């Protein structure tokens, strides 16, 4: 009898482990270059690297970047479509992967490229519009019209890319007291105090931090302990480390380049992410490099290069590390696939599994619970 119980217990334990290793992968795409339904939902097995398509949206225009609500019930997407750009909300059933369109409102700025949400607001960065907009959430998860618009003004030294403000990201500080925003056109990081309950002044400017002229700040991420910020600059491949304190102050403490020594081609640094254990930093670079740089994060917040690997495709605009840290998935905008890399949790290094998810122009990847 004991043996039967042990076998049953082992089987149940194994089932539980397998279940914990399964997640949904949501992928946002561009829909103007090839056939795409918009948002795709895959079940991903983080113990094997296997995947299967569960569902997709229908007729959603270029949902290039996605943000999932904390309760896993709603998905928010930018609709990157020039002067006709919008922001959309969806009900999300994680078990089936089904997305139910709720509503959409004008972004009030061209080409939204990033967004975040909490239980009160959806905050969006409009790249070509050079502004930040804030939508309120309704009880059913849908969004109001824009309740606050903050316009950035100015230009940078790169006449072709910095002719005006280009807001590229908005991100909450770990304690949600501040929202940081990178402006590629102005070579600045803006720090806003966050007032979630305000009706139309959710963001109030605390200050700005200048970065290297003509570097073009794109994306940043916080260290796991919240004491450091790592910023990648799109135009010249600079990677900047800041110290960060709970009063919202950023201070530059180090700079390096993600470009290999002697590299002469075009660069377009893209995404920056930290492994779930907080020990490794990953940065992708597009245009000619098409590579991922891997860094070890030291105790003092400094970083040490581990390796640089080809992403095995063209245009690695975004990538995601599954919640277990076992796999790193890279979405290629131009070769229309997601390359699945196995990740060594001890060394941080990545290795091609040979597995590919084929789909049109993947440009935003996010994992959720099932």
* Lookup: tokens for 298: 């030291």
Residue 333 near residue 317 (C-beta atoms within 8 A): yes
Q: Write down the pLDDT at residue 16.
A: 52
Residue 239 near residue 258 (C-beta atoms within 8 A): yes
Q: Write down the pLDDT at residue 8.
A: 47
Residue 352 burial by CB count (10 A; 0-12/13-18/19+): exposed, middle or buried?
A: middle
Q: Write down the pLDDT at residue 7.
A: 46
pTM of the prediction? 0.95
Q: How far apart are CA 183 and CA 163, in angstroms?
A: 12
Q: Write down the pLDDT at residue 20.
A: 83
> What residues pair up with 330 in beta bridges, in sequence order?
319, 339
Q: Write down the pLDDT at residue 331.
A: 98
Residue 201 near residue 147 (C-beta atoms within 8 A): no
**Phi, psi dihedral angles at 194 (to 5 degrees):** -105, 125
Q: What is the pLDDT along the chain (370 residues), one digit of tens a residue?
A: 555 545 445 544 444 555 689 999 999 999 999 999 999 999 999 999 999 999 999 999 999 999 999 999 999 999 999 999 999 999 999 999 999 999 999 999 999 999 999 999 999 999 999 999 999 999 999 999 999 999 999 999 999 999 999 999 999 999 999 999 999 999 999 999 999 999 999 999 999 999 999 999 999 999 999 999 999 999 999 999 999 999 999 999 999 999 988 898 999 999 999 999 999 999 999 999 999 999 999 999 999 999 999 999 999 999 999 999 999 999 999 999 999 999 999 999 999 999 999 999 999 999 999 9
Residue 3 burial by CB count (10 A; 0-12/13-18/19+): exposed, middle or buried?
A: exposed
């Amino acid at each position: 009898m004991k043996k039967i119980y042990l076998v049953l217990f082992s089987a149940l334990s194994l089932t539980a482990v397998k279940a914990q290793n399964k997640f949904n992968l949501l992928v946002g795409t561009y829909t103007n270059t090839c056939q795409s339904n918009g948002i795709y939902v895959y079940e991903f097995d983080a113990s094997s690297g296997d995947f299967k398509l569960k569902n997709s949206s229908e007729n959603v225009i270029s949902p290039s970047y996605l943000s999932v609500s904390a309760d896993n019930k709603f998905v928010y997407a930018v609709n990157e479509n020039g002067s006709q750009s919008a922001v959309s909300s969806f009900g999300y059933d994680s078990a089936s992967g089904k997305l139910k369109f709720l509503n959409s409102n004008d972004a009030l700025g061209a080409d939204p490229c990033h967004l975040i949400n909490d239980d009160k607001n959806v905050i969006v960065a409009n790249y070509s519009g050079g502004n930040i907009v804030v939508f309120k959430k309704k009880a059913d998860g849908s969004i109001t019209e824009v309740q606050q618009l903050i316009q950035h003004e100015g230009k940078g030294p790169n006449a072709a890319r910095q002719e005006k403000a280009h807001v590229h990201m908005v991100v909450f500080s770990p304690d949600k007291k501040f929202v940081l925003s990178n402006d590629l056109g102005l070579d600045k990081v803006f720090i806003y105090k966050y007032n979630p309950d305000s009706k139309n002044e959710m963001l109030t400017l605390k200050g700005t931090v200048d970065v290297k002229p003509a570097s073009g700040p794109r994306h940043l991420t916080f260290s796991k302990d919240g004491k450091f910020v790592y910023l990648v600059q799109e135009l010249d491949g600079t990677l900047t480390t800041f110290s960060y304190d709970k009063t919202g102050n950023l201070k530059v403490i180090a700079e390096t380049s993600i470009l290999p020594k002697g590299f002469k081609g075009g660069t377009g640094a893209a995404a920056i992410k930290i492994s779930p254990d907080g020990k490794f930093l990953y940065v992708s670079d597009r245009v000619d490099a098409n590579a991922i740089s891997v860094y070890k994060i030291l105790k003092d917040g400094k970083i040490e290069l581990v390796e640089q690997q080809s992403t095995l495709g063209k245009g690695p605009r975004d990538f995601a590390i599954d919640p277990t840290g076992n796999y790193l998935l890279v979405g290629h905008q131009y070769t229309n696939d997601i390359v699945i890399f196995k990740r060594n949790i001890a060394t941080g290094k990545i290795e091609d599994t040979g597995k590919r998810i084929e789909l049109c122009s993947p440009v935003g990847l996010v994992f959720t619970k099932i």
